[in-house]
Amino acid sequence: MIDSWFKDNLDYKTIVPVIFLVAVGVASVYSATYDAAASLYFNRQLMWVGIGTLLMIILIFIPFRSLQLLSYPLYGISILLLIGVLGAGKMVAGSRSWFGIAGLGLQPSELVKVTTILALATYLSDPQVHLRKLKNLAVTFGFVLLPVFLIALQPDVGTAIIYLGMLAIILYWAGASNFLMLTLIAPAAAVVATLFGTTPFVIVVGATLLLLFLLRENRLLSALVFSGTVLLGVSVQFIFSTLALHQQNRILSFLNPEADPRGAGYNVIQSQIAIGSGGVFGKGFLHGSQTQLNFIPAQWTDFIYCVPGEEFGFMGAFAILLLMTLLLVRGVQIAAMVKNRYASLVAIGIVAVLSTHMVINIGMSMGILPVIGVPLPFISYGGSHLMTNMIMAGLLLNMYANRKEY
């Protein structure tokens, strides 16, 4: 009976990539802390693997209807935690985003990713909610912008960006119009393009104008979107001047790491050296010179992708990409196969968060995206982050187990 349940309801296509990713993460944290007098981090990571695995298993067996009923209360509690950490949290690396509990750190902004997905899925699965209605759209944005605002106050810009990526993908899956998606994407694209110069900005503006013409939406709304896109693009210099100095340096180091090789560009340059020096098959476990000589401070956190990249070369770096891709593709498949709209939105929300994390983290490790302090799912050191990833894996497994429920 039990064997039959596991055969029919346990999704091995989800759990196998998760197990391998966690194993790679544990090995990478061990290597990164092996010669850095930081074995405490490895021991803590093992503890969080155990806690996360237990939570993942428990979540498989919770009726997803119960999860749906608890979505709003859990979201409310998590928002209160975000408010509380602003006053009672401890300062770590210039950000007040942690609660200190028995010598361990708990980061509410990680857990809120899950509760925001659940709340959004509950709201958007309501048959009365239509994204063409301004009221419904405002509520949808409110669910995401509230935690983004509170997280930005910590400040933690990297985590806040994850929420915006999640919102865009969930809206698309929920049936948002092409015009709405363009409204969200065009201004952001204009801001990024402006960083690279006038020509990329003009290309984005021209593409936006062409798409607005092809979509043939309300002329006034189209004019507002176009004007907003242009305005944000030309305002980048002003926005840049309002950022904190370390944030400005991160952007400048992204555009030209060699401009400050011992300062803001240091981590990116060392990361590129580590990944490039790995060659095809790498230098071998615990034999990465950049890793073992600690060229990158606290490499076990945001720049951990360098460790397998250096020690196992292109094959190791590619293996991580392959495992993550398999997990993300399976998440999309689950979102498409489940009968219940709530379950589908939960699954795609998880895919959105994991994929945004992966793209940003690997992008900044390779120097093709700004360094904004985003960890690599299942691999980077961090209790709250790993626990949240395991919870999301448990939710994916839950949605698969209940895929036939309407």
Structure tokens that stand for 72 in this block: 């709003």
Tokens of 320: 């991580």
- Mean pLDDT to the nearest integer, 209-234: 89
| Domain that residue 356 falls in | 2-401
109 Cβ contact partners less than 8 Å away, ≥ 6 residues apart: 82, 97, 147, 151, 154, 156, 159
Q: How many CB atoms lie within 10 A of CB 99?
A: 16
Give the tens place of pLDDT for each residue, 245-303: 766 776 766 666 666 666 667 778 888 888 888 888 889 888 888 877 777 777 888 88
d(CA 399, CA 406): 11
CA–CA–CA angle 255, 240, 367 (5° rounding): 20
* Residue 7 CB contacts under 8 Å (≥ 6 apart), including other chains: none
Looking at residue 96, its pLDDT comes to 73
Domains in the chain, number: 1
**Is 207 within the bounds of a domain?**
yes
- Is position 180 within any domain? yes
DSSP assignment, residue 376? P
Residue 379: inside a domain: yes
Sign for the CA dihedral angle at 370, 372, 373, 378 comes to negative
pLDDT, tens digit (0-9, with 9 covering 90-100), for 59-96: 998 988 899 999 999 999 999 998 988 887 777 666 67
On whether residue 406 sits in a domain, the answer given is: no
Query: Is residue 40 exposed (0-12), middle (13-18) or buried (19+ Cβ within 10 Å)?
Result: exposed
Backbone angles phi, psi at 226, to 5 degrees: -65, -45
Nearest to 124 by CA among 156, 171, 188, 160: 171
Mean pLDDT for the stretch of residues 140-148: 93
Reported as a single tens digit per residue, the pLDDT across 170-209 is 999 998 989 999 998 998 888 888 877 888 899 999 999 9
Please write the tens of the pLDDT for every residue from 346-398.
999 999 999 999 999 998 888 888 777 789 999 999 888 999 999 999 999 99
Whole-angstrom CA distances from 80 to 6, 84, 201 are 37, 6, 40
pLDDT at 205: 92
Residue 81 included in any domain: yes
